[in-house]
Amino acid sequence: MTENGSSADVVTKVVLEAVTAEKPSLRYLAGKDIESWMEAKRSMFDEEFYKKMK
């Protein structure tokens, strides 16, 4: 998971966006890797997703 994770630059940009937002969101996605994981989570039941994460 860490091999394909987002670079520190990508994460830093998202953190900066979060802390400077006038109307902050509860969640921010930092990179294509997490976007893929969240799409997978939306398409399956929680139990299935948790098993996949293990």
More confident residue, 54 or 41: 41
Structure tokens at 35: 């976007």
How many distinct structural domains can be found in the chain?
A: 1
pLDDT value for 20: 96
45: domain range?
A: 8-53
Is residue 12 assigned to a domain? yes
Indicate the length of the chain as a whole number.
Answer: 54
More confident residue, 52 or 11: 11
